[in-house]
Amino acid sequence: MADLAQRYAVVTGSNKGIGYETVRQLASNGIMVVLTSRDENRGLEAVEKLKADGLSDKVVFHQLDVADPASVASLADFIRNQFGKLDILVNNAGIGGLILDSDAFTKFTQLAGGGFPLGEDAWSEIAIPTVEGTKECLNINYYGAKRMVDGLLPLLQLSDSAKIVNVSSFLGSLKHIPNEGVREVLNDVESLTEEKVDELLNKFLKDFKEGSLEKEGWPTYISAYILSKACLNAYTRILAKKYPNFKINSVCPGFVKTDLTCNSGQFTAIEGAQNPVRLALLPHVVTGSNKGIGFEIVRQLASNGIKVVLTSRDEKIGLEAVEKLKSDEYGLSSDKIVFHQLDVTDPDSIASLADFIKNQFGKLDILVNNAGIAGVILDADAYTKATKLAGGDFPDGEDYWNEIETPSIEGAKECLNTNYCAAKRMVEEFVPLLRLSDSARIVNVSSLKGLLKYIPNESIRQALDDVESLTEERIDKLSDKYLQDFEEGSLEKEGWSSYLSAYTVSKAILNAYTRILARKYTDFLVNCAGAPVHWSNIMTQTYQLAEECLQTNYYGAKRMAEALIPLLQLSDSTRFVNVSSSMGTLKITVKWSNWPTKVEEEPFRLPVASGDLSDTITTTERSVKRRSSRLSSGSSSTKHRKVLKLVVEVLKNRTVIVRSTPIRCESEKTDTSSRLSMKSYSFGSFDIEKESFRF
C-alpha cells in the first residue's frame, strides 16, 4: 500500500519521446511513476533503460491502450492495489492521424526555417488523410484522455495534491479553425460541456466523410489533429471547472523532435518534457516562515513535493526552523527546503533573495507574502479576559480594547511597513522570476480585520470599495492620512477604527492592493488569503507600533510588488498572492461586486485579455476567511496545520495553461449567501473541526 508521503504518477504513451522523458524527469525528482505503453515489449524495454540510469526503484510498467476502456480499468486496479492513490496524471499519448511522407515533411520544415510547416500547399505533399486515421486520432488524442480521467478520477480524489496534465499542441489554438461558429462554441467557457464538444466532433467526422471540410469551415490539413487538440483544450477547461480542488493544465511542449514529427523540430524530447514536469515540481518562497502560519505553509508545501525557500529576518531562528522540518518529527527531505535570510522591510535584503533564487532556480512559481506584525503591544491578561467574555471568540469592540492595548505611532508605522509595503517590495522584486513560471502565483496573507466594516468612515470604505478607480496612489494617500490622524490623536474623529487600527488599515489596504495587482497583471493568479487572527501574545498598541503595522502590512506588500514585478513579468503564468487576513475582508454588497442575482447560474469573471480561449488560463481561485474561535482547542502545531490548509488550498488552484499568453480567471460560487470581497478572490468560512470549506 502507498506511503502517504510518496507521490505517484501515471504517464500515458511513455515508452518513448516526450512521454519517456516525462517519466524520467519525474522519477529523478523522487516521484513513483507508472510508465505505460500499448506495446508491452517496448514498455518493458523503456523501463529497463531507465533502470540503467539508476531509477529502478521509482519506475514500474503497466500495459495500457487508452483506446480500450478495459485496459484503462486494468491500470486503475493496478494503481489502487499497489499505491492506493494517484497524485499526477499526464495524458501524453497521442498520434497524428496521418500517414506522413518523411522526406516531404523534412523538406517543408527546412523551407520553414526549421519551424513547423504550415499551409495546405505543404501538407498536400506531406500527408494523406483517411477516415480511419481521423477516427483513430480523435479516439486516442481526445477520447483517450477522457477515458483516463474517468477511470482514474477516484484515485486522484484520494490525493491531497491531485494534478492532471493534458499534453496539447499549438495546433490546438482556435485560430487554426476557420469556422467562426465552432470557435465560438469552444471559446464559450460558460456554456461549454462535454456534450457540445462531442457534437462538434461528430459533425467534423460527418463532414470529413462527405468531403466537405473546406465548405463547412474546418481545417483542410492536419484537420483531425487540430480538432483533437482544440477539443482537448476545451475538455481541460471543463475539468478545471468541474474539479476545482484539482490542479488541471493543458500544456504545449513545442515543436519537438519525435517520431510524430519525423524527428524534426526545434526542441529535444528532454526539453519538450520540461513543461509538463515543471507543473509538478515548482519552487516557492514563503516570507516570515520560521514560525506560526508561515512555518506551516512551508511544511505543507514541502510535504506536497514543492521546493520551498523558508525565510526569516533572524538567520539563527530560520536555520533552526529548517532543521526542525528535517527532524524526525516532520521528516521532510532536505532537498525540499532551503533557507535564506530576509527582512521584508529592507530593499537590499529582498534584492539579495531575488539574486539567490535566480542563481539557484532560474525562476519562481509561488510567492507567499506571510510576514506581518500587529503593530501593537497587548496586555496578555486583559486579552485573555476579553476572549473569555467573548465566549472564546476574538474580542471585538472598543470596550475590550481600551483595556487590552495602548497605541503608538512607531508601532503603526512598522505595521504598515511590514504588512503592506514589504509585500509590495517582494512582488516588485520577484516579478521577473515569476514571469519565468508557467503557473505563477502570489498569495498575500490577510486577516478578517481587513474587512471594510471595521473602518467607520464611509468615504474611506468607498475609496477602497471602488475597484474601478482603485490605485496604489489612492491607497498610499489613505495610509498617509491615517498616520497623520494617528499622530494628531483624531482617529475616532476622522472615522478610523479606534482599536487595533494600524493592523486593520494595513490588511484592508493589502486587500485593495491585491485587487490592483490582479487587474494589472492578468496573467498572474493573485490571491489574498484571509488567515484567522491568532495572537501568541497580548499586546499594548502604541502609535509607533500602529505606524509600523501599516508600514509593514500595507506598504510592505506594495514594496514587494513593485520590486518583484520585473521578475514576475518574465513568467508566462505569473500569480500574485498577497497574504492578507480575514480582518482585511471587504464587506460589500452583491450589487457592487457585479455578482449575479442567481450566482449558482452565472459565475462572475475577471476582465478577460484579448485572444481566443485556447490561449488562456481558466482557474478557480478560492481564498477563505475563518474565525479565530475555531482555534480554541488543540495544540498550537495541530491548529496551525489545520488553519494553514487554507493557504495551501489557494496554492493548489487548478489552472488551464495552453500557451504563455494572458489568462482568464473565473470564480465559481453556488451559495447566494456568499459575498465577494474583491474581483480576484472571495472569502468564505472554514470549519477547522470538519476541515471543510463553506461559501
Contact 58, 32 (CB under 8 A): yes
In 3D, which of 249, 246, 310, 244 has the Cα closest to residue 278?
249
β-pairing verdict for 685-687 and 692-694: antiparallel
Half-sphere exposure of 365 (CA within 13 A, CB side): 18
d(CA 673, CA 682): 12
CA distance 59 to 15: 12
Distance CA 504, CA 522 (A): 27
SS3 490: coil
CB atoms closer than 10 angstroms to residue 390: 15
DSSP state of 98: E
For 4, phi and psi rounded to 5 degrees? -60, -30
Residues with Cβ within 8 Å of 387's Cβ and at least 6 positions away in sequence, in order, are: 393, 394, 395
d(CA 662, CA 682): 21
Catalytic residue among 225, 499, 503, 543: 225
CA distance 522 to 632: 39
Rounded Cα distance, 403 and 5, in Å? 47
What does residue 652 show for φ and ψ, rounded to 5 degrees?
Answer: -90, 5
Is 225 a residue of the active site?
A: yes
Which among 169, 142, 228, 233 is positioned nearest to 617, based on CA atoms? 233
Question: By three-state DSSP, how is residue 251 classified?
Answer: strand
Report how far residue 609's alpha carbon sits from residue 396's, in angstroms, rounded to the nearest whole number. Answer: 42
Residue 233 vs residues 166, 250, 274, 297, 671: alpha-carbon distances, Å: 8, 6, 19, 32, 28
Q: Is 563 exposed, middle or buried (0-12, 13-18, 19+ CB in 10 A)?
A: buried
Rounded to whole angstroms, how far apart are CA atoms 276 and 90? Answer: 8
Q: Which residue has the cell 486503475?
A: 76
Instruction: Determine if residue 375 is left, alpha or beta; phi over 0 gives left, psi from -120 to 50 gives alpha, anything else beta.
Output: left
- Distance separating alpha carbons of residues 136 and 67, to the nearest angstrom: 9
Phi-psi map region of 116: left, alpha, beta (phi>0 left; psi -120 to 50 alpha)? beta
Residue count of the chain: 695
Q: Which of 212, 149, 152 is nearest to 179 (CA)?
A: 212
Chain centroid to Cα 652, Å, comes to 5
Structural Rg of the chain based on CA atoms = 26
Active-site positions?
225
